[in-house]
Structure 1
């Protein structure tokens, strides 16, 4: 927890979230700023408002990603966290998506989940806790479902 970190230095807080919890720079920044009192981290309010704010084709791709997961896991909730749409189970996140100029970044919130599906990610740019797909990605529903299933299993073991 940030309040237990015993530092008010922005860079140290960001590094803590990125290195220990796999946060992207944007997510870490949003959390640190919220921790410091900023309320702009709730910029969109709802996933619907978020989808209206981005390119329609990109929004459609993201909706297909989430639909692939919720078709099998109906108890997941689509929420906004750190100004990004995410699927949540109780208080834990299953998968989140962030939009960049030339790609989408998918985050299963677990390096172990990424390792599990690593052979299926060889055509993508994989980072420590995330991987990138094109904005107009033809959604690999089986891959997304496998990641979600593994993440849910991981969360229920904890």
Structure 2
């Protein structure tokens, strides 16, 4: 069962069921790991109890005081967290796409802005200090459009663009159209 709620406690019934102990037991385990670094706590749960990464992360982060995985309640909150230059670029990218594809929905998922067609993700953006990454949510679409981005770093899932990239509306819209078409098949 997939968790769609960002509240870390939403994992707890699954943790109890899968690992056979009540949460009080797991709180005691985490108490013993108090003061250890995050990777050590995660490794302990995975190696000693067979926890998945998602379950271990939920328990570790909850025990560290983080009750929710959500950092942004809206796209505008996300924009406020960015450097103004990056925010301007990300807004321009989404504006260009939404102009041609107004039925797509702009949402926050995994603490990043994403465009959805119905229930399927078709495009996303993430940021780091020196670049932004765009993701068409399809390896097939990425492979098709990779030659258009040959001067940039292209991985299996993303394209890293400089913070001063000039938005190419046609290219972005063609990429998104290919993704929407693929998802609707």
Instruction: Identify whether the pair has TM-score above 0.5, normalized to the shorter chain.
Output: yes
- Structure 2 counterpart of 1:47: 75
Give me the whole-angstrom Cα distance separating, in 1, the residues matched to 2:55 and 2:125.
20
What pairs with 1:106-125 in structure 2 (closer than 5 Å)? Answer: 106-125=134-153
What pairs with 1:17-96 in structure 2 (closer than 5 Å)? Answer: 32=54, 36=58, 39-96=67-124
Alpha-carbon distance, 1:136 to partner: 2.1
Larger Rg: 2
Does residue 99 of structure 1 match 2:121? no
- Structure 2 counterpart of 1:18: none
Give me the whole-angstrom Cα distance separating, in 1, the residues matched to 2:116 and 2:55.
22
Q: 1:143 aligns with which of 171, 175, 180?
A: 171
Alpha-carbon distance, 1:57 to partner: 1.2
Q: Deviations over 1:98-157 (max 9, x none)?
A: 110100011111110011112211111000011100112111111111110000000000
Give me the whole-angstrom Cα distance separating, in 2, the residues matched to 1:154 and 1:9.
36
| Number of aligned residue pairs | 139
Give the TM-score taking structure 1 as reference length: 0.77
Partner of 1:86, secondary structure, is strand
**Greater relative CO, 1 or 2 (CA 8 Å, sep 6+):** 1
Give me the whole-angstrom Cα distance separating, in 2, the residues matched to 1:93 and 1:51.
20
Give the TM-score taking structure 2 as reference length: 0.66
Give me the whole-angstrom Cα distance separating, in 2, the residues matched to 1:65 and 1:34.
35
Segments of structure 1 that go 5 or more residues without pairing to the other structure are 15-31
Q: Deviations over 1:52-107 (max 9, x none)?
A: 11111110100111111111111111100010011111111111111101000111
Segments of structure 2 that go 5 or more residues without pairing to the other structure are 4-17, 20-44
Give me the whole-angstrom Cα distance separating, in 2, the residues matched to 1:34 and 1:51.
30
